[in-house]
Amino acid sequence: MIEQAKDTETKILDAAKEVFQQKGLTGARMQEIADKAGINKALLHYYYRTKDKLFEKVFELAFSLFIPRVKEMMMSEKSVFEKIEFIVDNYINLLHKHPYIPGFIINELNRNPQMLVQLFEKNVQFKEINLFEKFDNQLQDEVNKGIIRSVDSRNLMTNVIGLCIFPIVARPIIQGVMFNNDKKAYEAFLAQRKQFVVDFIINSIKVK
Amino acid sequence: MIEQAKDTETKILDAAKEVFQQKGLTGARMQEIADKAGINKALLHYYYRTKDKLFEKVFELAFSLFIPRVKEMMMSEKSVFEKIEFIVDNYINLLHKHPYIPGFIINELNRNPQMLVQLFEKNVQFKEINLFEKFDNQLQDEVNKGIIRSVDSRNLMTNVIGLCIFPIVARPIIQGVMFNNDKKAYEAFLAQRKQFVVDFIINSIKVK
DNA sequence: ATTTGGTTTAACCATTTGGTCAAATTTAAA
DNA sequence: TTTAAATTTGACCAAATGGTTAAACCAAAT
């Protein structure tokens, strides 16, 4: 039945997300995904043919949830300061909901960088050529107005995203080394960090 | 004999480093390690018993190469600005030599955070309880002197390390999205980034 | 030259794993 | 109600994989 089918397909995909994102392609087991979805292992192959195909689907969904967000945010009609606040805010919220995804994407892309090329070929909307042109102009504009000092757009954007993502992907290290593995302390750290990051960046580029 | 033995052991370890750091515990194959070391697979088990034990060794070496460095640097007798410049400089150089290690550590610790606990138990020198106490005092001192604005030490240190590591672990994304997969452009980006990061951080905390 | 101990290998084993298939079951159409 | 199609399952398979073992090899000591 079409309803039931959709349901099964979704149950499989949800289970696959969970297992792949936590264990990676090589660490994941089809049997575990089937168990988590509450179905027979053969059904996985009925709906998704192979492990690789199922993985590809999961990866694409994870990727499209995280990467194109930055584009939207950079394209919005806001001042540089507002954009930074907006991006940090949104990204940290997103990370709070999906803490495993960035590590998953980073790890799988390091294992097989070719995936990104294939993704760009298959899904043209990901490949926005002049993402930075507009942002570059805006930065230059605000430099001329004496609002910010001169900064390279790609370095700035790397910092914005990196400062959001790093404490999440490096959670075990940070929680372990900085907070003696105190989970509550780490969570408190994250909670206050959003404001710190915004201030840190704006302070760095603002002309005083 | 003892010379040859040491040599074989080293060859195995070197091969294991390469394979594990690129493919992770679950993605690595004992046969591939043996091939890369130019020896029979049974020799791996002769010298290191099991895959897990060999992996543990590789992980420990990688970990001890990266994490304790921060401690040394934070403990040195330098001003805050000098420390930041020193850490960024050293860390980026280290990353240039071992670009796979941070991703490796991050990924394996996310797969099994328990490893860190075991490592601390086994290797007490890693667990420096009051790493931040001295640094906190130094920061407060320079705040009082009007050199820097008031910043939380753990947030600051997270930023320093994160800004160094992130562009390396996220290389495929950055190279792909920001530089249209132009390897040279990415490398040029890294080369100029060291100075950018130092300026970015110091500018952010300096009182002008 | 023979013995002894560590080193290395080829062959082998048990288990795991991704994947298949024919049969059973369910669902929707005729 | 019958039929046809889609869905689900248990049983099974071949390949891959970590690990073992007995025999061969080799260098040094006697």
Phi first, then psi: give them for residue B148, nearest 5 degrees.
Answer: -125, 160
Q: Which of residues B128 and B202 earns the better pLDDT score?
A: B202
Least confident of A2-11, A149-158, A164-173, B184-193: A2-11
* Confidence band for A1, pLDDT divided at 50, 70 and 90: very low
Longest dimension (CA), chain B: 65
Set out the domains of chain B in order of their start, with CATH numbers.
1-49 (1.10.10.60), 62-205 (1.10.357.10)
Give mean pLDDT, residues A87-112. Answer: 97
State which residue of chain A sits closest to B110, comparing Cα positions. Answer: A172
* Confidence band for A60, pLDDT divided at 50, 70 and 90: very high
Task: For residue B154, give the nearest of A111, A180, A189 by CB distance.
Answer: A189
* Confidence band for B3, pLDDT divided at 50, 70 and 90: very low
Interface of B with A in 31-50 (CB under 8 A): none
Query: Nearest-CA neighbor of A82 among A206, A191, A192?
Result: A206
* Confidence band for A6, pLDDT divided at 50, 70 and 90: low
Strand C atom within 7 Å of B107 CB: no
pLDDT at residue B1, rounded to an integer: 40
Rg (alpha carbons) of chain B, rounded to whole number = 20
Q: Give the number of residues written for chain A.
A: 208
Percent of chain A having pLDDT more than 90?
Answer: 83
* Confidence band for B2, pLDDT divided at 50, 70 and 90: very low
Rg (alpha carbons) of chain A, rounded to whole number = 20
What sign does the CA torsion over B67, B71, B73, B74 have? positive
pLDDT at residue A71, rounded to an integer: 85
In angstroms, the CA A88 to CA A82 distance is: 10
Token output for A159: 């910092």
- Do B51 and B45 form a contact (C-beta atoms < 8 A)? no
Give mean pLDDT, residues B97-121. Answer: 95
Percent of chain B having pLDDT more than 90?
Answer: 83
Look at residue B204 and tell me whether its pLDDT is greater than 50: yes
User: Does B200 contact A204 at a Cβ distance shorter than 8 Å?
Assistant: yes
Q: Which residues of A touch B157 (CB under 8 A)?
A: 178
Q: Which residues of A touch B106 (CB under 8 A)?
A: 103, 106-107, 169-170, 172-173
Query: Nearest-CA neighbor of B45 among B9, B99, B83?
Result: B9
Look at residue B140 and tell me whether its pLDDT is greater than 90: yes
